[in-house]
Structure 1
């Protein structure tokens, strides 16, 4: 049953709504607020430093095609105005959304400058308008962009606004293809297995290995009751093992379920009473970071991986579990007023410790904890688990990229059945082409053809990293799950084609045009071009099928097999 939300619920305490006139936008404000229009034509509304403030506005719902949200499960359909609002916090979601119209323009994109807000959006049935509102206690600024630029440009502007004046440090290694043990090994990790996959992965272009769950326990039942002590039960002589991986030329990251203190751990005896909540199904408590004793224990345990064992970074998992809507009252030992403050102190302490030991140390977070408030504490953000789901992985990585700012965005780990044909292995990689791929299959079990696919496409990702990850991202049709995605670099344009759609080859915008075809239809129509270009067609394994000069004037059609690549080069 759909939850119904009273439009002005919660606002009564701040007084009656009042209009706030801004050119081109009618605002309704509860509480004290002022508005200004920036040089870019973007409206910024700022609420008072204390008390409750609510900012509401409406736009005509004309030519609307999709409602975009960083929560990928919500992107596409248009919610009703009476739908339950999103409660955004430091560790869950991000305070941003957009109403997208025909041509992928942003009818309206908005964001808040703080993590903890209540935000609603939806179609008003009585007027066919689309209503937005944001509510918070304390100082709040909301950015409202009705410029009708491509929605990706509006969202990039929001990410830049969030990060303005700050510097990001994302090590180069955070943007290179990685190997993960999760789907390939699950908890069955051992030094020999890790070192074997690291060696095989290095040959294919994987310079980083991420060892997931199982290293800290001999139990193989996939539970979390052994979390909290973080002793390397399955990775004995850990520093020597890490050094052997380093000797292969491969960097090493280690997984931690940060909030969990398992019921079978020694840590539970010490920290069991500092619980935000208990989850008997998972066999854990969620530790309360408002207490210094909790933060100190977790920081020491995680920093040890880098300081003592020589790891290159940490995969910090389940941070969203700190998001407890009604936490218990803090006891007298607590030194933080809120859980969010405790989380920031915890993550900040971990980041400081590991970068002091290794300045290029990496930290991975994942959806749904994608808030810009967490950016100072991470280097990379991964799409949430979606095993063997290429379309879902594509949508989640693109949604994350759109508002990730300086962070490297990683795909969920790629896995496939041993009988997967090479063309489909290539399609898995093409679907996450605009993020960092993580591979999680037994590399020793791959056929020669599958290994060729991996070597070719991982090499392609590395060669064109500047365009694929750092170029301007222009995804098409969020309402259809991005059937085509384009990245624009200084002189290279890369296109991922996931449906039988024509590709724009407009003259003057590129010297190199790359079209990766993940659709079963091989006929790639090139529109809007002029002149000639050298064309090369390769199959999923990188083998050259055809070469020649192609006339782009008007329209051209090139046969590119599923999982293959078309490369056009101008002199």
Structure 2
């Protein structure tokens, strides 16, 4: 009974305060929660076949601390053998055990499904890579569908007057790693995440013995390694 109740977790988390919904060409019905004191609008775009953008704009009646806000959808889970995330595991979790969090200091806000032939079965990326974002994306076994749920503003936040967040969906039947690369290339188009220039010095060889000695670093070992590094010009 507990598992049955939890299996619908993505839907249950939205039921209390659904504010709006729209239809996605890729996943169907999408719902998002209310944000008291704020006006929330969404625009969808299709930059190319199999790729869709959801662009949310939030405007406060007056600068205020936003409450928790979430977006959710469900879509068929066909020919899927694994879920990719920067955390490393590639298992397909059940929806009630699919929690994944990202922030500036931990993980990237990207989740992906792939087939046994390594073909993309859905990559969903969130543009918020600095603040904490809580995700759920896992299988709802009775219906053979996947839930997707993303929650923002779960941590203390300074008052805001407006806020924008986008989601990029990629369901193109291509090598799933290429679909993931496409998501990260999308981040690179945003001023806040534009890759920094890499100086030539970054390619100079680095001589390090810390991981070889771990806690055994002492004067004798350091002097020995320094002597070994001299012939390399260090």
Task: Please classify the TM superposition score into its range, dividing by the shorter chain length.
Answer: 0.7 to 0.9
Alignment of 1:185-224 (within 5 A): 185-190=213-218, 193-194=221-222, 196-200=224-228
- 1:114 Cα deviation after fit: 0.8
Instruction: Report what 1:108 is aligned to.
Output: 122
Q: Distance in 1 between matches of 2:102 and 2:150?
A: 10
Please give the alpha-carbon distance, in whole angstroms, between the structure 2 residues aligned to 1:249 and 1:40: 53
Greater C-alpha radius of gyration? 1
Mapped to 2, the partners of 1:169 and 1:104 lie a distance apart of: 32
- SS of corresponding position for 1:120: strand
Residues 176/67 of structure 1: CA separation in 2 closer, same or farther (3 Å cut): farther
Q: Could you tell me how far 1:190 is from its partner in structure 2? A: 4.8
CA contact (8 A) 2:79 2:116 kept: yes
Which residue of structure 1 aligns with residue 30 of structure 2?
28
Deviation for aligned residue 1:18: 4.5
Q: Which residue of 1 aligns with 2:233?
A: 249
Q: Distance in 1 between matches of 2:144 and 2:230?
A: 56
TM-score normalised by structure 1 residue count: 0.32
Residues 102, 134 of structure 2: 8 Å contact kept: yes
More helix by share: 1
Could you tell me how far 1:174 is from its partner in structure 2? 3.8
Query: Between Structure 1 and Structure 2, which shows a larger proportion of strand residues?
Result: 2
Q: Deviations over 1:337-378 (max 9, x none)?
A: xxxxxxxxxxxxxxxxxxxxxxxxxxxxxxxxxxxxxxxxxx
Correspondence list, 1:81-100, <5 A:
81-100=95-114
Whole-angstrom distance in 1 between the partners of 2:215 and 2:117? 46
Query: How much does 1:167 deviate?
Result: 4.5
State whether structure 2 residue 168 is matched by structure 1 residue 143: yes
The CA distance in 1 between the partners of 2:50 and 2:144, in whole Å, is 25
**RMSD of Structure 2 on Structure 1 (CA):** 2.9
- In structure 2, relative to structure 1, the CA distance for the partners of 1:201 and 1:69 (3 Å cut) is farther
Matches within 5 A, 1:160-175: 160-164=185-189, 166-175=194-203
Listed one character per residue, the Cα deviations across residues 533-560 of structure 1 (whole Å, up to 9, x for unaligned) are xxxxxxxxxxxxxxxxxxxxxxxxxxxx
Greater relative CO (CA pairs within 8 A, separation 6+): 2
TM-score, normalisation: structure 2:
0.72
Deviation digits for residues 127-185 of structure 1 (CA, Å, limit 9, x no counterpart): 11122221214532111111121111111111111121534222345456644333322
Residue 225 of structure 2 aligns to a residue whose secondary structure is helix
Residue 126 to residue 147, structure 1, CA distance change in 2 (3 Å): same
Decide whether aligned partners of structure 1 residues 66 and 19 sit closer, same or farther in structure 2, where only a CA change above 3 A counts: same
Aligned residue in 1 for 2:158: none
Contact 1:107-1:146 within 8 A present in 2 as well:
yes
Tell me: CA distance 1:22–1:28, structure 2 relative to 1, closer, same or farther (3 Å).
closer
The within-5 A match list for 1:147-162 is: 147-162=172-187
* Separation (CA, whole Å) in 2 of partners of 1:162 and 1:47: 16
What does residue range 235-314 of structure 1 map to in structure 2 within 5 Å? 249-250=233-234
Would you say how many aligned residue pairs link Structure 1 and Structure 2?
201
Segments of structure 2 that go 5 or more residues without pairing to the other structure are: 34-39, 60-65, 154-162
Structure 1: segments with no counterpart, 5+ residues: 204-247, 251-571
* Structure 1 partner of 2:212: 184
8 Å CA contact 2:111, 2:124 repeated in 1: yes
Matched residues in 2 for 1:114 and 1:19: separation?
A: 21
Is the alpha carbon distance of 1:84 and 1:157 closer, same or farther for their aligned partners in structure 2, counting shifts above 3 Å?
A: closer
Deviation at 1:202, TM superposition (A): 6.8
